[in-house]
Amino acid sequence: MDFLADLANVVADPTNLISGLAAILVFATVFTIVGPMLQGDRFAGRLKAVSTHREQLRRKSREAMQAERKGGIRKAESKGLMRDIVDRLQLQKLLEDPSLNGKLEQAGLRGQTPVVTFYFARAILPIVLCAGAAFYLFFVNSHELTTLLRICASILALGIGFYLPGLWLTNLGQKRRESIMGAFPDALDLLLICVEAGMSIEAAFQKVASEVGSQSMELAEELHLTTAELAYLQERRKAYENLARRTNHPGVKAVATALVQAEKYGTPLGSALRVMAKENRDMRVAEAEKKAAALPAKLTVPMIVFFLPVLFIVILGPAIIRFQQM
């Protein structure tokens, strides 16, 4: 108890708090300046990840053919500390999230490692946050709140830690979807040009992915994945459906449906893409008009808080000064 009390006094010391805050700010400044210099080619890394996914599809295809011959498939599972903890505690059953695979795909996270990391974080973060909140409330700041409020705050930190990985994953998927939809109408126009020029749909996807990478790496990655799935999946329809599920946007879903119908019924692909391109451009314009219409309501509070007081000071300040001088 004496050690915890001394530690609490050290943590609560204003000098130590100011020194720690200054160290964090200096580290953040250095990281902000030096970080971009240390980053490599992100697009090349994404393409490498796509190549890995292509190799996985090829390996699965070979394993499927071997399974038909031998009657079984043997898989070698990767092991690690997080994987061992998740397996031993059976966290995938205790903390099961039915929509996790879809969220991970929409966030651009593939493979078994993100699944294990998510369940590990969902199990560890509540304990860490609850323990940190309890330590601060019961030892550092133990005089301002009652015991019941400190217990409720610790339980609240426990709940925040449980839902924090899901919120982070949803936010990551939202940012990825916004990046994809920002470049998708232009990519669809380029896809239409390639198809009407006589290119196959696989070559058109490959060409568009290489051209749109500078505008949206996420969209280029999805198109590369679709090209790989068109080459290795038994049903081409499945590749289009996977593209629509990973992006989770009505525009991409409509394009995927048009491509599936063109593959199934033999309808002209160029006319379908032309209609979809026009609809996606109209959808982007409607989204921009929606944001513009919501702008005045969003500016109301900042204007009241920041502009009106300054305006009153400018208008009434000289009158008040003259009144005081009279």
- Euclidean distance between CA atoms 186 and 223, whole angstroms: 13
At 103 the pLDDT is: 83
At 72 the pLDDT is: 39
Give domain status of residue 172, yes or no. Answer: no
Burial (Cβ within 10 Å: 0-12, 13-18, ≥19) of residue 119? buried
Give domain status of residue 149, yes or no. Answer: no
Closest by CA position to 247, among listed 190, 188, 194: 188
At 49 the pLDDT is: 58
For residue 66, the Cα-to-chain-centroid distance in whole angstroms is 37
Residues of the chain with pLDDT under 70: 1-14, 16-17, 31, 34-79, 141-144
Instruction: Note whether 275 and 293 are within 8 A (CB).
Output: no
At 217 the pLDDT is: 84
Give domain status of residue 210, yes or no. Answer: yes
Q: What is the pLDDT of residues 175-186, one digit of tens each?
A: 888 888 888 888
At 41 the pLDDT is: 52
- Mapped onto helix, strand or coil, the DSSP state of residue 41 is coil
- Euclidean distance between CA atoms 158 and 128, whole angstroms: 8
- Euclidean distance between CA atoms 225 and 241, whole angstroms: 12
DSSP per-residue letters across 199-262: --HHHHHHHHHHHHTTT-HHHHHHHHHHHHHHHH-S-HHHHHHHHHHHH--HHHHHHHHHHHHH
Give domain status of residue 163, yes or no. Answer: no
- Euclidean distance between CA atoms 78 and 61, whole angstroms: 20
- Euclidean distance between CA atoms 226 and 202, whole angstroms: 8
- Euclidean distance between CA atoms 142 and 147, whole angstroms: 9
Closest by CA position to 246, among listed 47, 108, 73: 108
DSSP per-residue letters across 106-124: HTT--SSHHHHHHHHHHHH
At 73 the pLDDT is: 33
Residues contacting residue 17 through CB under 8 Å, at least 6 positions apart? 11
Give domain status of residue 262, yes or no. Answer: yes
Give domain status of residue 234, yes or no. Answer: yes
At 71 the pLDDT is: 45
Instruction: Note whether 61 and 232 are within 8 A (CB).
Output: yes
Residue 21 sits in which domain range? 1-31
Give domain status of residue 156, yes or no. Answer: no
Give domain status of residue 119, yes or no. Answer: no
Closest by CA position to 213, among listed 36, 38, 48: 48
| Structural domain total, the chain | 2
